[in-house]
């Protein structure tokens, strides 16, 4: 039987699975991110760490991602995000349009190109993004008081949107997506999402893992493939 969250993901562009990680898995991940990030509020290149690669390949995560993207899917980028008193940041409404690749190439429909912390990024055509999904693993309870994502349900079906369209869609209806500690939020990259500063910042730790289902065209290669 198809799980309800799969229907939610297809129709709304996001879904919450309240219990993905056990208490001991959460505790272990908290320790790992503390060491890896040195207590900073963000860490890119998470898939360089063996413990993240193991997590991305674990039965726990594969059993969620395979029904979404198929058995051949793989993790392509990992980022750690926290909100803490000295870095209580906000993100305006946007779609996740960039992917990390090995190096710049000439593939048609790809661009503009950029670099984030030395890693080449590019905006791929819509079809690539439509075949991707992200899982955000929450290491703390997260609600509207401490940086839960705000999303526009169904916006993942509308392709790449202009800033005006994003702002208009956001004004006409966004909602908070609370996720409990140990839970996971799945979403499609084209879903409009945003996040607010925390009203009482202590921690809001999220391990964010992006997955794709196929190789890139035109001689391009994913920067990570786990």
Ligand X SMILES: O=C(O)CCC(=O)C(=O)O
**What secondary structure letter does DSSP report for 48?**
G
CB of 192 to ligand X, least distance (A): 10
Q: Does 124 bind ligand X (CB under 6 A)?
A: no
Q: List beta partners, residue 186.
A: 15, 135
Site string for ligand X, 63-102 (x = CB under 6 A): ------------------x---------x----x------
131-48-41 Cα angle (round to 5): 90
| Segment holding 183, helix H or strand E | none
Task: Check binding of 139 to ligand X (CB under 6 A).
Answer: no
Is 104:122 a contact under the CB 8 Å cutoff? Answer: yes
Which residue(s) pair with 99 in the sheet? 122
Q: How far is the CB of 108 from ligand X (least distance, A)?
A: 26
Judged by beta carbon, residue 40 or residue 218, the one nearer ligand X is 40
**Cα within 13 Å of Cα(160), Cβ side:** 12
What does the per-residue mask of binding to ligand X show for 147-186, with x meaning CB under 6 A? x---------------------------------------
- How many residues form the binding site for ligand X (CB under 6 A)? 8
Tell me the residue nearest to ligand X as measured from the CB.
195
- Residue 94 phi/psi, 5° resolution? -160, 170
DSSP string over 49-73 = SHHHHHHHHSHHHHHHHHHHH-TT-
193 binds ligand X, rule: CB under 6 A: yes
Smallest distance, ligand X to C-beta of residue 138, A: 10
CB 204 within 8 A of CB 82: yes
**From the list 195, 198, 203, 226, which residue makes contact with ligand X (rule: CB under 6 A)?**
195
Asked if 208 touches ligand X (CB under 6 A), the answer is: yes
- Chain contacts with ligand X (rule: CB under 6 A): 81, 91, 96, 147, 193, 195, 206, 208
């Amino acid at each position: 039987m198809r799980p309800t969250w799969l229907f939610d993901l297809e129709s709304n562009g996001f879904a919450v699975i309240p219990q993905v990680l056990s208490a001991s898995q959460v505790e272990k991940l908290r320790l790992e991110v503390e060491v890896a990030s040195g207590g900073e509020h963000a860490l890119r290149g998470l898939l360089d760490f063996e413990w993240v690669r193991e997590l991305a390949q674990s039965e726990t995560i594969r059993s969620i991602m395979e029904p979404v993207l198929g058995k051949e899917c793989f993790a392509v980028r990992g980022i750690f995000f926290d909100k803490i008193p000295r870095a209580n940041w906000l993100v305006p409404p946007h779609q996740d349009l960039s992917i990390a690749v090995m190096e710049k190439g000439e593939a048609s429909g790809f661009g503009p190109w950029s670099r984030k912390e030395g890693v080449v990024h590019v905006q791929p055509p819509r079809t690539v993004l439509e075949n991707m999904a992200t899982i955000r693993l929450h290491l703390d309870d997260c609600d509207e008081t401490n940086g839960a994502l705000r999303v526009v349900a169904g916006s993942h079906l509308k392709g790449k949107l202009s800033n005006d369209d994003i702002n208009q869609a956001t004004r006409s209806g966004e909602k908070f997506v609370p996720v409990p500690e140990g839970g996971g939020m799945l979403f499609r990259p084209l879903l409009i999402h945003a996040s607010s500063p925390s009203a009482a910042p202590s921690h809001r730790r999220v391990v964010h893992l992006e997955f794709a289902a196929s190789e890139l065209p035109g001689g391009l290669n994913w920067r990570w493939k786990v």
